[in-house]
Amino acid sequence: MAKVLKRSKKTRRNISEGVVSINASLNNTHVVVSDKDGQVLSWATGGSAGFKGAREATPYAAQITSESAVSKAKTLHGLEKAVVYVKGIGAGREQAIRGIINSGVDLTAIYDITPVPHNGCRKKKVRKL
């Protein structure tokens, strides 16, 4: 007989300081708001903010995405300060940070954690169009 896993009930926690992780890829922007322990408070992507297809990769979509994710965490959990980690080479890097500032959260620090190869693996061949 299989065990049924119970999901924990969502509760409102007062968290004043959190971590905002921005993953800006070439096709989309993902924003995840978590507490200092890594427990996710809220998240948003370009698609969940109402953009579809190529419009998910625009800077405007990144700004709206980050505003929606941070405002959710602010209203549900009382987020006031945040440390921002930015990863990726997408077009919405700076605009996503601007969206966090517009939503009324104070930024403590901004870190760029984009993985940069130190001449490890060989790169893919260049596409010929």
The domain limits of the chain are: 17-112
The whole-number pLDDT of residue 10 equals 66
Strands 29-34 and 40-45: antiparallel
pLDDT per residue as tens digits for the range 29-68: 999 999 999 999 999 999 999 999 999 999 999 999 999 9
Q: Is the pLDDT of residue 129 over 90?
A: no
Q: How large is the average pLDDT for residues 96-123?
A: 93
What is the Cα–Cα distance from 66 to 112, expressed in whole angstroms? 16
Fold of the domain spanning 17-112 = Nucleotidyltransferase; domain 5 (3.30.420)
pTM of the predicted model as reported, rounded to 2 decimal places: 0.84
> Average pLDDT in the 71-76 region?
94
How would residue 1 be classed by pLDDT, with cut points 50, 70 and 90? low
For position 50, what pLDDT does the model report?
A: 93
For residue 9, pLDDT over 80 is answered with no
pLDDT of 121 reads 86
Are 72 and 28 a contacting pair, CB within 8 Å? no
**Neighbour-count burial of 29, counting CB atoms closer than 10 A to its CB (0-12 exposed, 13-18 middle, 19+ buried):** buried
